[in-house]
Amino acid sequence: MSDARPATWLAAERTELATERILDVAEELFVEHGVAAVSMRQLATAVGCSRATLYRYFPGKSEVLAAYVDRATRDLADSIGAAVADESDPSARLRAAVLGAVTGVRANPALIAWFSPDTAGTSSHLALLSPRIEAVASRFLTTLLPGADDIPDRARWLVRVIVSLLTTPGVSPDDERTMLDRFVIPVIIDSAPAHVDSAQHPVDSA
């Protein structure tokens, strides 16, 4: 009797490669035409497949956009993690993370295309609803505020701040830094519990 597992693994690998290929092409189209203008028909043509084949991987454009947001969030989170690794002060880490996220999006033509005037509403909606974005923000804040019991709420607020900076930039980088220092960091950091109960939240002292 033949073992069906290799075929199953190969099928899964092909699916992953096809999905990545579709998202790569979608990224190119976002840059060239804008997110709002890209249709499933246009995407299928650019990928080189039928719309029926495309729909097997993504039921609609919303699913393509959501998958792209998730992938971009993963990649951006990796670069931000490396950028804040040397920051020990929680406020400094938070400031560096937010500015790093904003700078990273603005430096990527495909990502910043999401925040053009004709696309900002849809992009903001997806960004605020994306489970991956909120999960990344929650994990990051947990490392800063291990005693806080409202991390999800703080994470949602942080995501909204980043989206707001992308859709409505400050007048300058210094202005954005000042707004973060005055109106964002104090809310997220300074309102956290003053101490952590070591009995409930043990800290590795090694």
Q: What pLDDT score does 114 carry?
A: 81
% of the chain surpassing 90 pLDDT: 50
The distance in angstroms from the start CA to the end CA of the chain is: 53
Q: What's the mean pLDDT when you consider all of the chain?
A: 83
User: Domains along the chain?
Assistant: 5-190 (1.10.357.10)
Residue spans of alpha helices (H) in 51-168:
51-57, 61-83, 90-107, 109-112, 120-129, 131-144, 151-167
**pLDDT digit string (tens) for 63-95?**
998 899 889 888 888 888 888 888 889 999 999
129 vs 109, more confident: 109
Distance of CA 193 to the CA centre of its chain: 27
- Whole-model pTM over 0.85: no
The answer to whether 154 and 145 have CB atoms below 8 angstroms apart is: yes
- pLDDT of residue 178 exceeding 70: yes
